[in-house]
Structure 1
Amino acid sequence: MPSTDSRFTQEQRRALLDLARASIRHGLDHGRPLPVDPETFDPALREPGAAFVTLHRAGQLRGCIGSLEARRPLVEEVSHHAFAAAFHDPRFPPLMRGEYPELDLELSIIGPAQALQFRDEADLLRQVRPGVDGLILEEKGQRATFLPTVWESLPEPADFLAELKRKAGLPADYWSDRIRISRYTTESFQ
């Protein structure tokens, strides 16, 4: 449910969700994301923004692609990431036309990342806010992130961090004084 400090109105959220769905439909028909003219959208949606588009089908993950840093207008991000989640997530085959009506879309607008300072893994785990924080792990040239929604399937901080390490290509019990962790929040809606 939207929080009282939502950045976007219901109309803006609907416009972004409609755009994501239209870009996937355009991808089925033309093999590329829907071209977007930011000037035709609400000014708040033209601002640079970072976002992830997550697709589910029958309650199962079907694709998730996004960016952690705002580099272009939010509407362009949403269009490109919706297309990429449907057709270029390396974990899944490209979306088939028959799957489209069964898709559930979720958008997660990414807030700024904040580097965490910690002495060791236990100190880090005490600082993490389950259900609130998305985490970015960086180590040995590897980088991985989990959105806050991942807490639904990994509610324990130690498990969340262990799986994030695995996603980064590291052993679940890996630790180093050079490991870097940042957190961010999202405004998510479907």
Structure 2
Amino acid sequence: MQNVILAIAKQAIQDGLEHTSTIDTSALLKQNPKFAEAKATFVTLTLYGQLRGCIGSLVAHRPFLDDLIHNAKAAAFDDPRFYPLSPEEFLHVKIEVSLLSAPEAVTYHDIEELKSKICVGEDGIILQKGTRKATFLPQVWEQLPDFELFFSHLCQKAGLEAGCLKNHPDIWRYKVEKVK
């Protein structure tokens, strides 16, 4: 199944480059009914070890197959941090797909309690304060391995001050199954 997921993501990007639509969704759905179930996915592209695009869904809102195809193309062509992926880059890009569990709200009274409820290295985190919202996949712990560093960067990603946890933002956690 993992090889199929990666092949679909790769073909979706190739279709985007060539302005074609070659994925036989009917056949895939027939072969694997799980693709019809709602699933949240993130597609992460890296080029020579550097992030090259990352787009996804935090909540399952469409069939797995549709979410995967959409997010693969979006990571390659619509991530606002990068120019659209070129055909030359496509030859060297690495694709990773993250399958997300449903987000679970984390109730906490202070930062120490929050710290006790977060699995460093395992939990993906969604942080929201007002209209500002950001997420880090669990893989981000590899670059930001301690709680304070991870959350200060997540606060900044949301457009908030680095110490935004003192303002008690809403926090959700989720797990991912990595496919690479």
Q: How far, CA to CA, are the matches of 2:9 and 2:30 in structure 1?
A: 15
**In the alignment, is residue 29 of structure 1 matched against residue 18 of structure 2?**
yes
Q: Which residue in 1 is equivalent to 2:48? A: 58
Q: CA 1:35–1:157 in 2, change beyond 3 Å: closer, same or farther?
A: farther
Q: Quote the RMSD (CA, aligned, Å).
A: 1.6
Give 1:23 deviation, angstroms: 0.4
Conserved? CA contact 2:38–2:63, under 8 Å: yes
Q: What one-letter code is carried by the residue in structure 1 that aligns with 2:37?
A: E
Q: How much has 1:35 moved relative to structure 2?
A: 7.3
Separation (CA, whole Å) in 2 of partners of 1:33 and 1:89: 23
Q: Secondary structure at the match of 2:152?
A: helix
Q: Does 1:17 align with 2:13?
A: no
Q: What residue number does 1:150 align with?
A: 140
- Partners of 2:110 and 2:43 in 1: CA distance: 33
Q: Does 1:116 align with 2:106?
A: yes
For residues 159 and 31 of structure 1, the distance between their equivalents in structure 2, rounded to whole angstroms, comes to 43
Stretches of structure 1 lacking an aligned partner (at least 5 in a row): 1-11
Shift of 1:45: 2.1
Superposition TM-score, scaled by structure 2 size: 0.93
Aligned 1:1-190 pairs, distance under 5 A: 12-30=1-19, 36-37=25-26, 39-174=29-164, 175-177=166-168, 179-190=169-180
Identity score, percent:
39
Q: What TM-score, normalized by structure 1, do the two folds share?
A: 0.89
The answer on whether the counterparts of 2:29 and 2:35 sit within 8 Å (CA) in structure 1 is no
* Counterpart-to-counterpart distance in 1, 2:24 and 2:82: 24
Is the contact made by 1:52 and 1:107 (CA closer than 8 Å) also made in structure 2?
Answer: yes
CA distance in 2, matches of 1:41, 1:20: 17
